[in-house]
Structure 1
Amino acid sequence: MGPKTEELISVLEQLATLLENDGATHWSLWMRKAQARLLDSDYSGITYLLSAYGGMGSFNDLVLGQSYDGGVFSWKPGHVELNQRFDKLRCYAAQLADAIKRSQG
């Protein structure tokens, strides 16, 4: 396993934790599944991860820090910083996965 794959595994852990803490279980499970594949040296984890990006309702569209209480929308405290961190991790994961995919030929 190369250094970029190890870094991606770490980023996926951070993403999964961030998503779990915000209640985004669908996407946290997606990140954990990609991570598990990579930990097993199954590089289909790269393809699986990259399939989350793009299209309507994709991982690219996700915004964290929202809540509905009694049908009323509101932002959670710290939502701006949360989404800045999330977007940085989300973009970095895609960059690493793309680089690994290119290196695999």
Structure 2
Amino acid sequence: MLDELASVLESDGNTYWSGWVLKVRARLLNSDYSGIELLLSAYGGMGSLNDVVLGQNNKDGVIEWKPEHTGLNERFTVLSSKAWELASAIKRSQ
């Protein structure tokens, strides 16, 4: 799921968050529990993963939707929500 989430972010040029998600994924693949804490820390607050909006251009101060990215935010929201739910469930089980 984190691969897909990173791919969706990367497809819109959001290299910061896609790289961040892959960093979390690497920790989890190494059975490093800090990946759970790191992932959960991305949700909430200003500039968080919750604030990400994909599929937009800023042209001369006017925000426009990219027609080729229809449904991108919906896919991002589903993946991001599932990642949070799984990480929360793992944290509760510890």
Q: TM-score, normalised by structure 1?
A: 0.83
- Tell me by how many angstroms 1:65 deviates: 0.2
- Tell me by how many angstroms 1:102 deviates: 0.7
Partner SS, residue 77 of structure 2 = helix
Report the counterpart of residue 90 of structure 1 in structure 2.
80
Counterparts of 1:61-80 in structure 2, within 5 Å, are 61-69=51-59, 72-80=62-70
- Tell me by how many angstroms 1:34 deviates: 0.4
- Tell me by how many angstroms 1:68 deviates: 2.6
Deviations 1:26-54 (A, max 9, x none): 11011000000000110100000111100
Query: CA–CA distance in 2 between the matches of 1:83 and 1:34?
Result: 21
Partner SS, residue 54 of structure 1 = coil
Does 2:19 align with 1:29?
yes
Of all paired residues, the percent bearing the same amino acid is 62
Does 2:44 align with 1:54?
yes
1:43 to 33, 43, 54: 33
* Unpaired segments ≥5 residues, structure 2: none
- Aligned residue pairs total 94
* Unpaired segments ≥5 residues, structure 1: 1-10
